[in-house]
Structure formats: structure tokens, C-alpha cells
């Protein structure tokens, strides 16, 4: 089985970290900070830098413990379990793809400030496809792209910092405290986004050499470098352009470039800022499919997305999924980009609070777990940071116009993940499946004519062939929808062993057996139905199963159990459902006829396959015999 390839060393992951964390905030937020707090906004940058360096240490400890592709999803799973980790992963997927879509559109708007929405959407999707294709082709190719964008970002900033240091004008920083002290706190709130992005780097852990040591070092050092660059950049910028002018600048970097290098430099720096924004987007596009991969591995997302390309060693199906999702968001978000971007702040703050809580909990619940790096005061300080983050969220609610509406929108997206979680658990988790079937047993009985119409029952029995006087295993009898006509078909001299994972379903089957006097039918409840044929089932002449293949976790094991109980030329018929409302995917091995045939062949069966459209799904008929 293909695995992700470890190709990233410390230097590369450090540059990727800087690019991922610095993002786009450094190009616009210094001006906003100056507008709010004047020269004293430098203090805001120092405070947020200190907080961010400590948060990077918390991420460093977690990634040293769990250097896996899931990143923050993995940390939540270890600390809280499946549900919370899914919700956190879901929040990250939503926030990340919204960010990709919105920033690409914003970058196009920045470069081409004209009213041509269709053209901009087309160009945005083109960039999305190009970056995802580069990601598809492998981490070596992707890392070259990310390193190039990192160098562009750093070069852009240093080209403004160095002349700013040379021609430093301290008089522009006086008086330092022009506005009330509360303005420093307010500026702190608005500039915090500059330091968001640690999670992006953690998704690349499985492709990093010696990640237990390299990732913590890169996260902390990268954050320190960004902190120094940000503080120096803000200070030199405010010394170059008076804060009143700088604070009202729409394109602060372009204005700084014009001040240092003349009018001709303005267009150059406009292009450089555009490339930096695009580079920030590229970082997320490369890393995010690794989160989808991790969730799919744990059966908390579509399991097909866990596939690794045999040649390029990338999660290529997750990359394709991401391409479609982001492109759709570009269309859906048309005209509402500003709203969606404002909505991201509460999502990100919730995400970081969850990560910090996970660190504290793991300190108490798993104190002996190996920690190659350990954040200082990891049981206490993260709580202080959480209080600061929650305070910022409260401040956002007070300051931002229509904040509660945006908060409702953000949490509606979170709650949208809850039914998806239960649907995935039902689809992949035997325990959840058993509970759900038990709960819905009488509903299943009342709707059996819809789920398994008479025409499908008749076709199933026709494919099974003459069964008079035979012994038949009905693997997954549900509430007995097929059991009753099958009992009549085998007659009193035959025998049916009807097994199912649901205790309630079996109780209903037993009542129906008794009512119709089918004493030759034996109903068996099996908690491990997803991975075996019940041990009490003897050798049989034939096997029939309806609606169970998608819920079998170990199909190879189950088919081998059946093969051992059947003699040569024994007939088998499996009927399953696929493409529910064209939304719920198949199990991977049910996608292609060749894979199905190979799976059955390995267990000793030769089968044919037919697919038939039903009411809101398709039926798959798999029938044949033992070789």
C-alpha cells in the first residue's frame, strides 16, 4: 500500500512554515493597526508576537507527540475522541476552503480592480486548478513552489525593511501614545490574524524527515522570525510614512515601495503583494488534503479520500475533492466574499482554543506519553491564552457590525457537520450501525416495500435459482423482508439461517417466523456481523444477502467464512445499494466491477454484476458460484 513520502527537511519546512503563518496579514494589517492605535500599535505587535510564540510552543509539543498528517484533528482525537475531532476537522476544512476561495478572488481583485465578475471567477478557478495540479504531482514539486513563494514574500518585506532602517525617521513615531491605551488592545484584536496558520504546517508532518524534532523547531523558530520581521517592518513603515497617512493607505506596501524607490516601484510592489497572497493560498492547497486523508483513514470522512497515488505519493483523491469544493465556493460565495472572510475569525479562534485545551488535557490524562518537545508551563499558560482568545472573540462581537449574524452563520456551518458525522458513523462504524438499526427497526418494517420492492425480491430469488429443500444462509436478514419469501421457496424440508447485526431486527424476524409457522428458519443475532459469518452457521448450499456489503468492514474475511461453508458450484447472490440520492458514495471496493470480481475471486467465487436504478439509489446485483 502506498504511503506519503518523507521528502521535507528542516530548511524547507521552516520556509513553508513562515509562508503559511505570515500569510497575507502582514501586507495589510500594519496599516490598520496604525489607523487604530497610531505609533503605539507597535506595542500591539509585540504583545501578539509573544502570545503567538507561546502558541507555537503548544503546537510544537502536540506535533512532537503525534507527527501525523491530521495535525490538529489528530490532537483532538487523542484528547477528546471521535466526535470532537471530527467537528474540529470539519471546522478546519470549512475555514480553509473558504480562505482559499476568498483570498484567490481577493488577489485577482487586488491585481485587476475592474468590474468583470465572470472573468475574475474564471481566473480564480484557473489558479485553483493549477495549484491543485502541482500538489497532485507530488510533495517535491509542491515544496519547490512553496519555497519560491516564501522567498518572494520575505524578499518583498526585506526590500522595504532595509531602506526603512537606513532612512529611519524617529520623529514620525512622536508622540508615541497619541490615542487612548485601549486602542492598543483594539489594534491587538485586528492584527492577530497575521500569526494564524500553525495548523497548515502540522498537516505536512508525515512528509517531513524526523518530524518529532524538525516540526517543533520549525514552528517555534518560524514564529520567532515572523515576530521579529513583523515588529521591525511595522516600526520602519511608521517611521517612513506618518501614521495618519499610512493608516489610511489602501495598498500600504505599494506606497512604501513608492517612497523608497520612486513612482515606478508602485506597480512592482502591487505585483509582489499579489504573488505573496497567491503564495499563502498555495500553502493551504498543498497541506489541506493531508487533513482529509487523516480523517478518511479513521472513517470520519469519505474513505476513498485516503488513497495515495502510487507514483506521486500524494492523497490525490483528496486533492481532486478539494479542487471541486474550492471551485464551488468561488461560485457560491460570489458577492458575499467579505461576509465569509469576516466569519472566519470565530471559527479560527474556536479551533485554536480547542487545540490549547487538548494540550492541557493530554498533560493530565497522558502524562507518561513521550514528548520530544515540552511547552513551558503546559498545564497553566494555555488556559491564560484561551482566556485572551475568548476575550478577543467577545471584543469581536462588540465591535463588528452584524457580529451576531456572522457568528450564527459560522456556527450553522459547524452544526452542518453534526448530521454528516452521524451519517459517516452509520456508514462505517458497526457499533453506531447496530444502534441505529435497533432504533429504526419498526420504521424499516413499515417501509420495507420501498427499500426492497417486490420486483427486487423476485429478481434476487430468480438469480439464486431453485432452492427447494436446500440449506441457505441469509447474511443480513434485516426485518425479514426477503426471509419470508425465501422460507416459502426452500419449503419445510429446507433450512434457512438468517443472521443480522441488529438485535431488534432479529426479534421482529422471530415474531414473523412464529406467525407464519416457518420453524425451518433460524434467526441469529450477531454483534460481529460486520466481520464474520456467525460460528453457529453450518455448511450451506447457497448464500444470499441484501444491503450488507457496504457495512462489512472486513469483506475478505466474511467471504472466506462463506466459502468454507459452501461446496463447489454453490450459488451466491448479493444485492446492495449505491449512490443514495447521488450523495453517499460506495465503499471503495464497490466502485468498480473489476474490483468486485477480483475481491470475490480471491475468496473462490466467480461472479457477474448488474446495476439497476431504484427510487433514490441504484441496486447492485452480484451473483455467481463457488469455483
Residue in the block written with cell 441504484: 618
Q: Is residue 621's pLDDT more than 70?
A: yes
Q: What's the N-to-C CA distance of the chain in angstroms?
A: 28
- What stretches of 400-490 show up as alpha helix (H) in DSSP? 403-428, 430-439, 441-446, 448-451, 454-464, 483-490
What pLDDT score does 392 carry? Answer: 84
What pLDDT score does 105 carry? Answer: 76
Tell me the C-alpha distance between 282 and 131, whole Å.
Answer: 6
* Bridging pattern class, strands 471-475 and 495-500: parallel
Q: CA nearest 527: which of 553, 566, 559, 508?
A: 553
Instruction: Kindly state the percentage of the chain with pLDDT values over 90.
Output: 49
Q: CA nearest 32: which of 254, 250, 352?
A: 250
Q: CA nearest 85: which of 462, 449, 424?
A: 424
- Lookup: cell for 627: 469455483
What pLDDT score does 525 carry? Answer: 95
What is the tens place of the pLDDT at every residue in 31-90? 888 998 899 999 999 999 999 999 999 999 999 999 998 899 999 999 998 899 999 999
Report yes or no: 304 and 586 within 8 Å, Cβ to Cβ. no
What pLDDT score does 298 carry? Answer: 87
Residue in the block written with cell 490549547: 356
Q: CA nearest 8: which of 210, 256, 303?
A: 210
- Lookup: cell for 598: 477480483
Q: What distance lies between CA 112 and its chain's CA centroid?
A: 32
- Lookup: cell for 3: 504511503
Q: Which range (110-124, 194-208, 257-271) has the least confidence?
A: 110-124
Q: What distance lies between CA 401 and its chain's CA centroid?
A: 30
What pLDDT score does 579 carry? Answer: 67
Tell me the C-alpha distance between 16 and 24, whole Å.
Answer: 14
Tell me the C-alpha distance between 441 and 444, whole Å.
Answer: 5
Q: CA nearest 309: which of 92, 72, 145, 133?
A: 133
Instruction: Provide the angle, in degrees to the nearest 10, between the axes of the packed helices 403-428 and 381-399.
Output: 130
Tell me the C-alpha distance between 495 and 541, whole Å.
Answer: 10
What pLDDT score does 493 carry? Answer: 93
What is the tens place of the pLDDT at every residue in 393-411? 888 788 777 778 878 878 8
pTM for the full model? 0.80
What pLDDT score does 100 carry? Answer: 82
Residues 6+ apart with CB under 8 A from 489: 461, 467, 468
The verdict on whether omega for the bond into residue 175 sits within 30 degrees of 0, i.e. cis, is yes
Tell me the C-alpha distance between 615 and 613, whole Å.
Answer: 7
Q: CA nearest 484: which of 473, 496, 493?
A: 496
Q: How many Cα atoms sit within 13 Å of 104 on the Cβ side?
A: 29
Return mean pLDDT, the chain: 88
Amino acid at each position: 500500500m502506498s504511503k506519503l513520502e518523507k521528502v521535507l527537511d528542516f530548511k524547507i519546512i521552516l520556509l513553508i512554515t513562515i509562508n503559511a503563518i505570515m500569510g497575507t496579514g502582514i501586507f495589510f494589517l500594519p496599516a490598520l493597526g496604525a489607523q487604530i492605535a497610531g505609533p503605539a500599535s507597535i506595542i500591539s505587535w509585540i504583545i501578539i508576537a509573544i502570545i503567538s510564540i507561546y502558541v507555537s510552543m503548544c503546537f510544537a509539543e502536540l506535533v512532537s507527540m503525534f507527527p501525523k498528517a491530521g495535525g490538529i484533528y489528530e490532537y483532538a482525537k487523542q484528547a477528546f475522541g471521535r466526535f470532537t475531532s471530527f467537528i474540529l476537522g470539519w471546522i478546519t476544512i470549512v475555514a480553509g476552503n473558504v480562505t482559499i476561495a476568498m483570498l484567490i478572488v481577493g488577489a485577482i481583485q487586488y491585481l485587476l480592480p475592474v468590474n468583470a465578475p465572470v472573468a475574475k471567477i474564471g481566473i480564480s478557478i484557473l489558479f485553483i486548478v493549477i495549484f491543485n495540479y502541482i500538489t497532485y504531482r507530488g510533495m517535491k514539486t509542491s515544496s519547490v513552489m512553496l519555497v519560491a513563494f516564501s522567498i518572494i514574500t520575505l524578499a518583498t518585506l526585506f526590500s522595504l525593511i532595509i531602506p526603512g532602517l537606513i532612512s529611519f525617521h524617529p520623529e514620525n513615531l512622536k508622540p508615541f501614545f497619541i490615542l487612548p491605551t485601549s486602542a492598543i488592545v483594539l489594534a491587538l484584536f485586528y492584527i492577530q490574524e497575521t500569526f494564524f496558520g500553525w495548523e497548515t504546517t502540522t498537516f505536512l508532518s508525515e512528509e517531513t524527515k524526523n518530524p518529532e524534532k524538525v516540526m517543533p523547531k520549525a514552528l517555534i523558530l518560524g514564529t520567532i522570525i515572523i515576530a521579529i520581521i513583523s515588529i521591525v517592518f511595522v516600526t520602519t513603515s511608521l517611521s517612513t510614512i506618518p501614521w495618519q497617512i499610512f493608516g489610511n493607505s489602501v495598498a500600504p506596501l505599494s506606497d512604501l515601495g513608492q517612497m523608497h524607490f520612486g513612482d515606478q516601484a508602485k506597480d512592482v510592489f502591487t505585483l509582489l503583494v499579489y504573488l505573496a497572497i497567491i503564495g499563502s493560498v498555495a500553502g493551504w492547497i498543498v497541506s489541506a488534503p493531508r487533513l482529509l486523508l487523516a480523517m478518511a483513514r479513521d472513517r470520519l470522512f469519505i474513505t476513498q479520500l485516503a488513497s495515495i497515488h502510487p507514483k506521486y505519493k500524494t492523497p490525490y483523491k483528496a486533492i481532486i475533492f478539494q479542487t471541486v469544493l474550492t471551485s464551488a465556493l468561488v461560485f457560491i460565495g460570489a458577492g458575499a466574499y467579505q461576509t465569509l472572510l469576516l466569519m472566519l475569525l470565530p471559527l479560527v479562534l474556536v479551533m485554536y482554543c480547542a487545540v490549547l485545551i487538548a494540550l492541557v488535557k493530554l498533560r493530565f490524562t497522558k502524562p507518561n506519553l513521550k514528548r520530544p518537545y515540552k511547552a513551558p508551563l503546559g498545564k497553566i499558560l494555555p488556559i491564560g491564552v484561551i482566556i485572551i482568545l475568548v476575550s478577543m472573540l467577545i471584543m469581536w462581537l462588540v465591535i463588528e457590525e452584524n457580529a451576531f449574524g456572522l457568528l450564527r452563520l459560522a456556527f450553522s456551518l459547524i452544526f452542518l457537520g453534526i448530521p454528516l458525522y452521524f451519517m459517516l458513523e452509520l456508514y462505517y462504524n458497526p457499533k453506531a450501525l447496530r444502534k441505529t438499526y435497533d432504533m429504526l427497526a419498526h420504521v424499516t418494517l413499515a417501509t420495507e416495500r420501498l427499500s426492497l420492492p417486490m420486483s427486487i425480491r423476485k429478481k434476487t430469488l430468480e438469480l439464486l435459482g431453485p432452492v427447494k429443500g436446500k440449506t441457505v444462509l441469509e447474511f443480513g436478514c434485516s426485518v425479514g423482508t426477503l426471509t419470508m419469501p425465501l422460507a416459502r421457496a426452500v419449503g419445510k424440508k429446507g433450512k434457512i439461517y438468517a443472521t443480522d447485526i441488529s438485535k431488534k431486527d432479529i426479534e421482529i424476524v422471530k415474531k414473523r417466523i412464529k406467525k407464519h409457522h416457518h420453524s425451518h428458519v433460524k434467526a441469529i443475532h450477531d454483534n460481529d456481523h460486520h466481520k464474520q459469518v456467525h460460528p453457529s452457521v453450518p455448511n450451506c448450499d447457497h448464500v444470499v444477502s441484501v444491503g450488507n456489503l457496504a457495512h462489512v468492514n472486513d469483506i475478505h474475511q466474511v467471504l472466506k467464512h462463506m466459502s468454507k461453508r459452501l461446496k463447489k458450484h454453490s450459488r451466491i447472490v448479493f444485492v446492495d445499494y449505491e449512490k443514495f440520492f447521488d450523495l453517499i458514495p460506495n465503499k471503495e471496493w464497490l466502485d468498480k466491477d473489476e474490483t468486485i470480481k477480483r475481491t470475490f475471486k480471491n475468496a473462490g467465487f466467480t461472479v457477474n454484476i448488474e446495476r439497476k436504478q431504484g427510487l433514490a439509489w441504484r441496486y447492485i446485483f452480484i451473483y455467481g458460484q463457488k469455483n
